[in-house]
Amino acid sequence: MTRENISSVHEALIVGGGIGGMAAAIALSERGVKVDIIDIDPHWRVYGAGITITGPTLRAYRRLGLLEEIKAQGAITTKTRLFKYDGTQLHDLEEPVIEEGLPATGGIMRPVLHQIMQARVKELGIYVRLGLTVSAAVNAGDGVDVTLSDGTHGRYDLVVGSDSVFSGMRELAFPHMGPAVPTGQACWRISIARPPELEFGEFYLGSVNPCGITACAPDQVYMWMLTAHEERERFMDEEELYTELKRLLADFGGNAGWIRDNMTRQDWINYRPLAAVLQPKPWYDGRIVLLGDAVHATTPHLASGAGMAVESGIVLAEELASADSVEAGLLAYQERRYPRCKDVIDSSMAVGRLQLAHGDPREHAHILEGALSRLNAPF
C-alpha cells in the first residue's frame, strides 16, 4: 500500500510503548517519520490476560499490516453467542463482516499481541529505550524540548503521550484534564484451557454479574466477569481470587459453568476496578498530543479500548500526512477521534450503569448491539 509521507514531522517521541503507542509508532514510521519510543517498564512486558479483538479492531490491525499474524497466533470466529447465565441460548450478536476477508471477531493473549507489535516496531528500525519516562516537556518554537528521567535531553517535532490511563504526560502537560473516574464496577479475568464445547465468542447475561468467554488460541480462552466493585483493605491473594471467582460462577451453566468446574489455582486470575473518562478538548498542546487510554479510557463492555487506541494511532499519522501544518493535523486528529471515542465510552458506561442497577438484559443487549454496529462504520 502506498502512503503519503508526513512532511511536517521529521522526528517524533512516543511516550509509552503499549498498544496505542506502538500503533502510532508504526503508522508514523511507515510515513517517513523517525520515531523513538520510551517506556517506563524496563522489561516492556504486558500482563497475561487475553484480549478480545472485535471486527473494527481487526480492521485497524489490517491497516498496520498485522492481521495475518494476529489470525495465525490468536483465534478468530464468526460470531458471539448470547446466553442466559444458566446456559440457555438466547441469540447471536449481529457481527457482520465489515470488510472483505476480515474475520467477524477474535481474541489473542496480550503478551502474544505485544510480541507481534514489538516485532514490527523492531523491523521498522524504531529506537526503543526502556525504564524511562519524561520529566519535562516544553513547547519551544517548532518543536518540544524534552528532559527524560535519566537526565538526558532531546528535541522532537512531535511528542505523543500514550502512557496509559494513569498518564504522566497528561499530568505534566494538560492541566485541564483529570484522572479517570471509577465506575463502581470491577472486571474479573481468568486465562484458562479452552472448554471442549466452545465454538464462538460467548456472553452470559441476566445474572447480577455478566460474563463472557473469548478464544485466544486453539487451546486457550479468557473469561471475564463484571461485578460491583467492593473496596477492600488489601489486595486479594491468589487463593482468595480463585475461591471468590469460583463462588461468583456458582449459578452459571454452559461453558462458563465448565470453567468454574475446571479452573485450577495455576490459572492466571486478575481483579481490576474499572475507571473511564473522555478527556476534555484540546487533546494537544503545541506539539504534544495524547492518544489511547491517556485521553479516551473506557471500560471493557464493548471490548474496544485497545481498538480505539490502535485506530487513534493510525488516524494521527493519516491526518498529519494530509494536513498543511502540524497544528492542523493535530486538530483534525482530535476532531475525527472525539465523537467515535465518546460513543464507545458513553455506551460502555451506560451498559455498566444498567448492570449495577440490575437492569433488563434485553436493554443491555440492545445498547451493546447498537454501539457495536456504529463501530463498524469506517473510522
Ligand X SMILES: Cc1cc2nc3c(=O)[nH]c(=O)nc-3n(C[C@H](O)[C@H](O)[C@H](O)COP(=O)(O)OP(=O)(O)OC[C@H]3O[C@@H](n4cnc5c(N)ncnc54)[C@H](O)[C@@H]3O)c2cc1C
Which residue has the CB atom at the shortest distance from ligand X? 18
Phi, psi angles (nearest 5°) of residue 42: -60, -20
How is residue 42 written as a grid cell? 524496563
Q: How many angstroms separate the CA atoms of 251 and 35, rounded?
A: 51
Q: How many angstroms separate the CA atoms of 186 and 322, rounded?
A: 41
Q: How many angstroms separate the CA atoms of 46 and 270, rounded?
A: 13
CB 47 within 8 A of CB 187: no
Stretches 50-58, 75-83, 227-235, 356-364: which one binds ligand X (CB under 6 A)?
A: 50-58
**At closest approach, how far in Å is the CB of 252 from ligand X?**
19
57 part of the interface to ligand X, by CB under 6 A? yes
**At closest approach, how far in Å is the CB of 129 from ligand X?**
10
User: How far, CA to CA in Å, does 300 sit from each of 52, 75, 189, 344?
Assistant: 9, 19, 11, 10
Q: How many angstroms separate the CA atoms of 337 and 360, rounded?
A: 31
Residue from 6, 13, 14, 15 touching ligand X (CB under 6 A): that is 15
Binding mask 113-152 for ligand X (x = CB under 6 A): --------------------x-------------------
Closer CB to ligand X, 55 or 168, in the complex: 168
User: Alpha-carbon dihedral of residues 255, 261, 264, 270, nearest 10 degrees?
Assistant: 50
By CB under 6 A, the count of residues binding ligand X is 31
Residue from 106, 168, 254, 329 touching ligand X (CB under 6 A): that is 168
303 part of the interface to ligand X, by CB under 6 A? yes
Q: Which residue has the cell 509508532?
A: 25
Closer CB to ligand X, 8 or 70, in the complex: 70
Within residues 174-233, the interface with ligand X by CB under 6 A covers 187
Residues that bind ligand X (CB under 6 A): 15-21, 38-41, 51-52, 57, 133, 162-164, 168, 187, 272, 292-294, 300, 303-307, 309
